[in-house]
């Protein structure tokens, strides 16, 4: 099947998938095995040891490559493990330029784990792609971006940044966790590496922790595969199966996430007790035009600031919500609410956090696929 020709809504179901060779199972079996019988040393069917490769993981990796329009997919034990593998492409003295409201766990990995190995990280505002160039030095090897960003919903122009990356011969990696390939396909826009926390929308049911990388270039894929096997943070067979099952409904879930997201963003924006709503679908969002160009819709992630609110107030609101569950994470079928300053972004120092707009009163919503009337009623009660 020439599946590069399939439409996205078919790739989620068929991309990289074939009925199992042994019995024709339509879903790939969970190959819960660490090792494989060999007829003679090296005489195996492509699988020798499950850190190096496992058939259920291969099925997921092929699906990931297909939905992101890439040639190679790699599945990891977590999103962070996938990021860890990318940074291990670098050497001491190399520099990375990243965005100043990057995911808190990425920031922690960069600053607290990799900086002591001599890799330098700079965190800058990237809403204006041209402003990035002055931070690129001869030691810069990687641009690490996220769009929309978490939790400020800033939009970065992937095409413009990829042009800069080409010009300076540096790699561009895009964390596509928030958008998913349903909304935007970074490899088509010139990125070299796409990364996912498949824990979120790809898995979609808040039941796994999984990470992914997708690339087009064979040489880059080989290097990442070497690191995946050498460092060993691989995705297990059961988690591979669950993520694959999640991906099969990604397009229908995303459609509803977008529909509900729009309804709730619009409701909040009109609410007299709400100061500001951050959602790229608004025409007055500073990079709305770029969002419109590179995304097919605007997603279900929304942040907002209640009027006259502070740390305690914001916490009171999230505690009052009943259908929105107060929890870390995002992208599942159920709606979640979070308080970035004390939860997802607590590992970023307060001054850094506030510089990028993550104030103490900010609340983040991951709008699920429940009935939107119930979600709005829940917010109405909590905001008061
Ligand atoms: C959750 C998340 C990660 C980290 O992924 P894990 O699966 O939790 O390790 C990275 N980037 C973004 C944008 C995330 O939301």
DSSP string computed for 120-158: EEEEE--SSGGGGGGG--TTEEEEEEESS-TTT-----H
Determine if ligand 1 sits within 6 Å of the CB of residue 105: yes
Determine if ligand 1 sits within 6 Å of the CB of residue 79: yes
Distance 272 CA to ligand 1 centre (A): 33
Q: What are phi and psi of 333, to 5 degrees?
A: -65, -25
Residue 1 pLDDT exceeds 70: no
How many residues are there in the chain? Answer: 384
CATH 3.40.640.10 domain residues, the chain:
3-247
Q: What are phi and psi of 120, to 5 degrees?
A: -100, 140
CATH number of this structure's domain 251-383, picked from the four choices 3.90.1150.10, 1.10.760.10, 3.90.105.10, 1.10.3210.10: 3.90.1150.10
Q: What is the mean pLDDT of residues 8-34?
A: 94
* Annotation says 253 is catalytic: no
Rg of the chain taking only CA atoms, in angstroms: 21
Q: What percent of the chain has pLDDT over 70?
A: 99
3 pLDDT band, cuts 50/70/90, is low
* CATH top-level class of 3-247: alpha beta
Torsion angle (degrees, nearest 10) of CA 174, 176, 181, 182: -140
Ligand 1 atom nearest residue 105's Cα: 4
User: 218: how many CB neighbours lie within 10 A of its CB?
Assistant: 10
User: 169: how many CB neighbours lie within 10 A of its CB?
Assistant: 10
pLDDT the model gives residue 344: 83
Preceding peptide of 315 cis, ω within 30°: no
Terminal-residue alpha carbon distance, the chain? 55
* Annotation says 364 is catalytic: no
Distance 21 CA to ligand 1 centre (A): 34
In angstroms, the CA 323 to CA 331 distance is 15
Residue 93 pLDDT exceeds 80: yes
Determine if ligand 1 sits within 6 Å of the CB of residue 150: yes
> Taking the mean position of all CA atoms in its chain, how far away is CA 296?
17
Residue 126 pLDDT exceeds 90: yes
CATH 3.90.1150.10 domain residues, the chain:
251-383
* Annotation says 103 is catalytic: yes
Mean pLDDT of the residues in the chain: 96
Which of 78, 105, 154, 242 maximizes ligand 1 atoms within 8 Å of its Cβ, making it the mutation to test the pocket? 105
Q: What is the mean pLDDT of residues 121-130?
A: 94
Residue 148 pLDDT exceeds 70: yes
* Annotation says 200 is catalytic: yes
Distance 375 CA to ligand 1 centre (A): 25
């Amino acid at each position: 099947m020439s599946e590069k020709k399939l439409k996205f809504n078919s790739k989620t179901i068929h991309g990289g998938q074939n009925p199992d060779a042994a019995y024709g199972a339509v879903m790939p079996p969970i190959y819960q095995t660490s090792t494989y019988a060999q007829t003679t040393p090296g005489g195996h069917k492509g699988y020798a040891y499950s850190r190096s490769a496992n058939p259920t993981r291969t099925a997921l990796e092929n699906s990931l490559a297909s939905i992101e329009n890439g040639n190679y997919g790699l599945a990891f034990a977590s999103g962070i493990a996938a990021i860890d593998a990318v940074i291990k492409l670098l050497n001491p003295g190399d520099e990375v330029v990243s965005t100043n409201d990057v995911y808190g766990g990425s920031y922690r990995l960069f600053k607290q784990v990799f900086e002591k190995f001599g890799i330098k990280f700079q965190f800058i505002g990237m809403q204006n792609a041209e402003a990035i160039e002055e931070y690129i030095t001869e030691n810069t090897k990687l641009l690490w971006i996220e769009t929309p960003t978490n939790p400020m919903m800033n939009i970065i122009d992937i095409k413009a940044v990829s042009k800069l990356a080409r010009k300076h011969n540096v790699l561009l990696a895009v964390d596509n966790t928030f958008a998913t390939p349903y909304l935007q396909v970074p490899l088509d826009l010139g990125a070299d590496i796409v990364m996912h926390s498949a824990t979120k929308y790809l898995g979609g049911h808040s039941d796994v922790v999984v990470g992914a990388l997708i690339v087009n270039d064979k040489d880059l894929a080989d290097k990442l595969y070497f690191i995946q096997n050498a460092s060993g943070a691989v995705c297990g067979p059961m988690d591979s199966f669950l993520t694959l099952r999640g991906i099969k409904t990604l397009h229908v879930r995303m459609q509803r996430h977008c529909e509900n997201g729009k309804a709730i963003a619009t409701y909040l924006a009109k609410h007299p007790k709400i100061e500001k709503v951050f959602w790229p679908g608004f025409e007055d969002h500073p990079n709305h035009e770029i969002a419109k160009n590179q995304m097919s819709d605007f997603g279900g992630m929304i942040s907002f600031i209640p009027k006259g609110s502070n740390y305690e107030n914001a916490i009171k609101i999230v505690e009052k919500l009943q259908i929105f569950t107060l929890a870390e994470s995002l992208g599942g079928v159920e709606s979640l609410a979070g308080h970035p300053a004390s939860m997802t972004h607590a590992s970023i120092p307060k001054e850094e956090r506030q510089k990028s707009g993550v104030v103490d009163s900010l609340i983040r919503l991951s709008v699920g696929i429940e009935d939107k009337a119930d979600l709005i009623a829940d917010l109405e009660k909590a905001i008061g």
